[in-house]
């Protein structure tokens, strides 16, 4: 089973998602529109992303995560 970490910082208004453990040897690349890619410095592989200026709707107190497995269609 994949391990995905989701961190919501309501004070800093960020939402970070990563699927590999953070390391001191990672780099960040801003792509625009408040999205930052987190990459492994040696391989260049994307290991997560961060969304800046993230604010859930006012009445929502928590961020929930839903996982759905995509199905392949046989068309």
What are the 10-residue block averages of pLDDT along the chain, 75 residues in total? 83 92 88 94 93 82 76 66
pLDDT (0 to 100) of residue 16: 93
pLDDT score for 1: 54
Q: Which residues make Cβ contacts (< 8 Å) with residue 52, sequence separation at least 6?
A: 13, 14, 34, 35, 36
| pLDDT score of 73 | 67
What's residue 28's pLDDT? 94
Q: pLDDT at position 17, please? A: 93
β-pairing, 46-52 vs 14-18, is antiparallel
Backbone Cα Rg of the chain: 15
């Amino acid at each position: 089973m994949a391990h995905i970490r989701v961190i919501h910082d309501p004070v800093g208004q960020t939402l970070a998602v990563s699927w590999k453990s953070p390391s001191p040897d990672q780099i960040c690349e801003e792509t625009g529109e408040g999205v930052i890619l987190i990459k492994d410095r040696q391989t260049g592989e994307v290991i997560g992303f961060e969304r800046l200026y993230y604010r859930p709707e006012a009445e929502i107190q928590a961020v929930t995560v839903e996982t759905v497995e995509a199905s392949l269609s046989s068309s």
